Structures are given as C-alpha cells and as structure tokens.
C-alpha cells in the first residue's frame, strides 16, 4: 500500500514539470514570435496550477496519454502568422522530446545508484515521450493538428479554432476505449528504445 502511494507521488512529481515545461515552450515561443497574450494572462509561469487540465492530468496518470490547459495565443500578433503557428505548435513537443532524451542519458548513467532514482528517471522518459507523441496526433485541439495546418489559409485556421473544442469527445472515447493506446504505444516504445540506445552510445 505504501509502495503504491509512493509510486503515485513520484508520478505526480514527474507529471508536473512534464506538463509545465510543455506549456511554457508554447508560451515562450509565442512571445518570441511577437504574441504577448500568454505573458499578459500569467501563463508564462512555473506554477503547475496555471497549466493543469484535471481530466487531461488524470488521463496521463492512468493511460500516459493526456493534455494540459492550452496556453492562450493570438496568431494575429505573430510577425508571420503561418511560421509562428508552426513554431509555437511544435515547441511543446520538442521540449518533451528533449527532456525524454536528457532523462534517457541520466537513466543509463546513474539509475544503478538508487532504485527510486531509477524509477524517477524512467518515468520522466516514459511520460515525456508519451506526452510528445500524443500531442502530435493531428486532431484539434492537439498540437499535431496545428503543425499540419499551420500553412493553410487563414480562414481554415479560424474554422479549426472555432470547432476544435468538440473533438475532446472523440479523444476521450479513443483514450478510454484503449484504441489510442494500441496505436500510439508502439510508436512511443520505438522512440524510447532509440533514446536509450543513443544514451548508451554516449
């Protein structure tokens, strides 16, 4: 019982920086591209409460697939709307993949020193890679949809933004029926394997 509680405490401690840094990636790149919306609304913050979506966090804990509270952006403020939309959309995923690679190196080099440390490093790898892969799904409001449509006409982007809230239902069905896991697990496992192999070779 105590071991189970400790395990979930570790999961939560791993999830917080995974989610926060993902959203900060979006927010800071948006700021660099000319949009100060996230900064003005207090979302360039390390406070997890500002970024956590309750249902998305629960889904992450249970299924390793989930989402955070989207950082507010105004693409009309970007110096170049299409380039800005692409870079902001991919930023969170890139942050998570970099973290996954960093903790792969830490896992390979230092996990033998302590079993708790080993668990923390391995969970950082798993959750960051899963979070990155999940967010690349090309379904609104996930990042993947914006990455693909970033260079579409402005009217299409506005249409996507207007109706993206309805696709949460589709995502929830795919997650809780296990369909999504069957599709994405092999992809994440492949990336994790490559990260660990690269870490071993360093």
Q: Is 23 one of the annotated active-site residues of the chain?
A: yes
Tokens of 170: 């589709």
CA distance 54 to 110: 33
Catalytic member of 23, 119, 162, 164: 23
Residues classed as catalytic: 23
């Amino acid at each position: 019982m105590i071991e189970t509680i400790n395990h979930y405490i570790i999961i939560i401690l791993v999830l917080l920086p995974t989610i926060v840094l993902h959203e900060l990636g979006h927010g800071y790149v948006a700021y660099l591209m000319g949009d100060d919306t996230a900064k003005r609304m207090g979302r360039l913050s390390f406070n997890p409460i500002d970024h956590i979506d309750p249902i998305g966090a629960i889904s992450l804990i249970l299924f390793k697939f989930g989402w955070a509270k989207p950082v507010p952006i105004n693409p009309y403020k970007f110096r170049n709307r299409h380039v800005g939309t692409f870079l902001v959309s991919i930023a969170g995923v890139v942050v998570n993949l970099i973290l996954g690679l960093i903790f792969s190196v830490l896992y390979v080099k230092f996990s033998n020193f302590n079993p708790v440390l080993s668990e923390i490093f391995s969970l950082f790898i798993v959750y960051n890679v899963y979070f990155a892969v999940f967010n690349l799904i090309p379904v609104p409001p996930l990042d993947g949809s914006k990455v693909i449509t970033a260079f579409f006409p402005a009217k299409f982007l506005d249409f996507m933004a207007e109706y993206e809230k309805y696709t949460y239902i589709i995502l929830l069905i795919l997650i809780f029926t296990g369909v999504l896991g069957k599709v994405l697990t092999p992809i994440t496992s492949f990336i994790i394997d490559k990260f660990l192999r690269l870490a071993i070779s360093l």
